[in-house]
Amino acid sequence: MALEQTLSIIKPDAVKRDLIGRILARFEAEGFRIVAAKMLHLSEAQAQGFYAEHEGKAFFAGLVDYMTSAPIMVTVLEKENAIGDYRTLIGATNPEEAAPGTIRRDFALSKTQNSVHGSDGPSSAEREIAYFFAESEICPRD
């Protein structure tokens, strides 16, 4: 299997509840290597741009409000099959449907306030990583 990178976001509900360290520890415990990290507070335009594929949907305005409500932590995670394995680790969008042991099942508050984001495929991973990080900010190692 190929070494992949995926974009993770620790979302506002988790940052507000001081869960950053516990969630980052879960990533590392599951074999994901953190190769880039930053904390930022999204502007409305940044949140709209990141979630542009959902523009026009009923939940879009609420999603943008939520994503701009507090800081987030964005990381690039590296691992073999990182994209798929990370989606498995975080679980279904709705925490009530997320499998036991997943991050969303353990921490998320609702379908909107669901604690973490993960890229859903190779092209979105590439776009999302570039949305937040310059090449020089990504630090892979042996």
Sign of torsion, CA 124 128 47 117?
Answer: positive
DSSP H helices in 1-142: 12-16, 20-29, 44-50, 60-67, 82-90, 103-107, 122-132
Q: What angle do CA 97, 100, 104 make, to 5 degrees?
A: 60
Instruction: Tell me if residue 117 is catalytic.
Output: yes
Half-sphere exposure of 60 (CA within 13 A, CB side): 13
**16 a known binding residue?**
no
Residue with Cβ nearer ligand UDP (20 or 92): 92
Number of residues that bind ligand UDP (CB under 6 A): 8
Task: Look up residue 60 and give its two tokens.
Answer: 């879009």
From the candidates 102, 117, 118, 119, give the one annotated as an active-site residue.
Answer: 117
Residue with Cβ nearer ligand UDP (36 or 63): 63
Site for ligand UDP in 5-24 (CB under 6 A): none
Question: Is 117 among the residues that bind ligand UDP (CB under 6 A)?
Answer: yes
Question: Is 131 among the residues that bind ligand UDP (CB under 6 A)?
Answer: no
Interface residues with ligand UDP (CB under 6 A)? 59, 63, 93, 111-112, 114, 117, 120
